[in-house]
């Protein structure tokens, strides 16, 4: 991806995460990225193409973030609980704008099958990773454990975005992880 395209999609992600889906226009992206007028539309001819580019960039950023957050061994349920707590914290603080952009895209994906399919690919990669960990930690039903843990973490992230004053105590996260793995 060219430098201009990256600037445009990064600016688009910021717009999505700070102002929502309706802020996503070529002109607003140009202004937010500090690009000359028409730059975003030169690289992304339609709004659908711009959204595709944004979703692709989000997938890239997700891979980069996961690589930095989880370069640790998840040897037991305590490590997994710690990793999930760390993810929720990062998603609602350091990566808050990116997380908000993901939710804006998720709502768009409910009406736009292409966006929904792309987001589903990212969710499936996360599901496979979590299922592998659940299996490695001895969960009798890794798929069920993964579904429950994913739903729990999604809820914690949503609550963290909307009610940052209500953080889940780490001991509760550990209890949920242990329940899912048994």
Assess if residue 169 is contained within a domain: yes
Tokens representing 161 are 């975005």
Predicted pLDDT at 181: 94
> Is 41 in the same domain as 102?
no
Residues 126 and 86 in one domain: yes
Q: What is the pLDDT along the chain (182 residues), one digit of tens a residue?
A: 689 999 999 999 999 999 999 999 999 999 999 999 999 999 999 988 998 899 889 888 887 877 776 655 677 888 889 888 988 999 999 999 999 999 999 998 998 888 888 888 878 887 888 898 899 899 999 999 999 999 999 999 999 999 989 889 999 999 999 999 99
> Cβ of 6: how many Cβ atoms within 10 Å?
15
Q: In this structure, what CATH number is given to the domain that contains residue 2?
A: 1.10.10
> Do 15 and 90 have their domain in common?
no
Predicted TM-score (pTM) above 0.75: yes
Q: Which domain holds residue 142?
A: 70-181
46 and 126 within one domain:
no
Give 2-62 as a DSSP string: -HHHHHHHHHHHHHHHHH-GGG--HHHHHHHHTPPTTHHHHH-SSHHHHHHHHHHHHHHHH
5 & 85 share domain: no
Is 174 in the same domain as 88?
yes
Q: Is residue 43 part of a domain?
A: yes
DSSP code of residue 169:
P
Same domain, 76 and 45: no
């Amino acid at each position: 991806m060219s430098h201009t395209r990256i600037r445009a999609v990064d600016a688009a992600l910021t717009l999505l995460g700070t102002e929502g889906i309706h802020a996503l226009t070529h002109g607003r992206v140009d202004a937010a990225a500090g690009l000359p007028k028409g730059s975003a539309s030169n690289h992304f001819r339609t709004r659908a193409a711009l959204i595709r580019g944004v979703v692709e960039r989000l997938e890239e950023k997700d891979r980069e973030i996961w690589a930095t957050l989880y370069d640790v061994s998840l040897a037991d349920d305590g490590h997994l609980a710690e990793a999930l707590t760390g993810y929720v914290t990062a998603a609602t603080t350091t990566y808050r704008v990116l997380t908000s952009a993901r939710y804006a895209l998720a709502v768009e994906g409910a009406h736009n099958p292409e966006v929904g399919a792309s987001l589903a690919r990212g969710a499936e990669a996360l599901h496979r990773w979590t299922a592998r960990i659940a299996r490695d930690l001895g969960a009798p039903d890794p798929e069920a454990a993964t579904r429950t843990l994913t739903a729990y973490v999604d809820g914690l992230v949503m609550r963290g975005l909307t009610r940052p004053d209500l953080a889940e105590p780490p001991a509760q996260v550990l209890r949920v992880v242990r329940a899912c793995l048994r």
